[in-house]
Amino acid sequence: MDSPLFIPLILGTARQGRESEHAAKFVFERTKARAGVETEFIDVRTLPMKLDDAGEQMKDPKFAATIERCDGLIIVTPEYNHSFPGLLKHALDMCLKEYIHKAVGICGVSAGIIGGARVIENLLPVMREFGLVTIFEDVNFGKVGMLFDERGNLLDENFVRRVDKFLDELIWMSRVLRYGRESLPPM
Ligand SMILES: Cc1cc2nc3c(=O)[nH]c(=O)nc-3n(C[C@H](O)[C@H](O)[C@H](O)COP(=O)(O)O)c2cc1C
């Protein structure tokens, strides 16, 4: 239980000019700053993925090893037509058993004011199917175009507190689930 928690972050869009990248980098930096936590930035753009296949049979070994090693997962995703980007789902579907009994927290990003609330809601049943355990804190980066300058500097300091609260909960849940995986045999 003394070794650092491993909580990688997945940026869920490959769109040219994506604003979600600013939000993802900000959350990543706050995660990196946490004592006792290791993290890694996973960009769906750089994951080797086939477009003529799907699921575990096209599993990328490096991605699978990262998910296998993790204690928790952060997903930063924009809302596309009230749901998640197809490429994010395509990437996540490469793994299955690697997710079981790990914690996950979701940050939604949108141009609209509700900050990706609908993409978060729509991801919840997917997380459940993977055996991931969702936390009840989210971060909603609404009106994202006004939250960061063109270099990605945060313009609204309220998000420092919001992301830290989200991380507090995710780290706690990751720790609890690691304790469970290591200490309690499956039923
Ligand atoms: C295909 C597509 C669908 C979108 N659908 C929504 C939506 O349903 N709700 C919303 O608030 N914004 C929507 N947007 C705008 C995004 O919220 C906006 O681009 C924001 O900057 C986050 O996405 P990004 O990381 O691609 O920039 C959509 C954008 C794209 C490209």
Taking only the tens place, the pLDDT of each residue in 8-23 is 999 999 999 999 999 9
Residue 1 has a pLDDT of 64
Q: Is 165 in the pocket of ligand 1 (CB under 6 A)?
A: no
pLDDT at 5 over 90: yes
pLDDT digits (tens, 9 = 90+) for 88-118: 999 999 999 999 999 999 999 999 999 999 9
pTM over 0.85, yes/no: yes
What confidence score (pLDDT) does residue 186 get?
Answer: 80
| CA pair distance 21, 28, nearest whole angstrom | 10
Report the pLDDT value the prediction gives residue 167, as an integer from 0 to 100.
98
Q: Which atom of ligand 1 is nearest to the CA of 119?
A: 8
| The token pair that represents 37 in the structure block | 């936590």
Predicted local confidence at residue 187, as pLDDT: 77
Give the per-residue pLDDT at 2.
78
Q: Is 77 in the pocket of ligand 1 (CB under 6 A)?
A: no
Ligand 1 contacts CB of residue 16 (under 6 A):
no
Cβ–ligand 1 distance for 86 under 6 Å, the answer: no
Q: Are 162 and 139 in contact (CB under 8 A)?
A: yes
CATH superfamily entry for domain 5-183: Flavodoxin domain (3.40.50.360)
Q: Whose alpha carbon is nearest atom 14 of ligand 1?
A: 80
Taking the centre of ligand 1 as the mean of its atom positions, its distance from the CA of residue 104, in whole angstroms, is: 22
Quote the tokens at residue 67: 């998910």
CB 6 within 8 A of CB 39: yes
**What integer is the mean pLDDT of 70-95?**
98
In the chain, what are the domain boundaries?
5-183
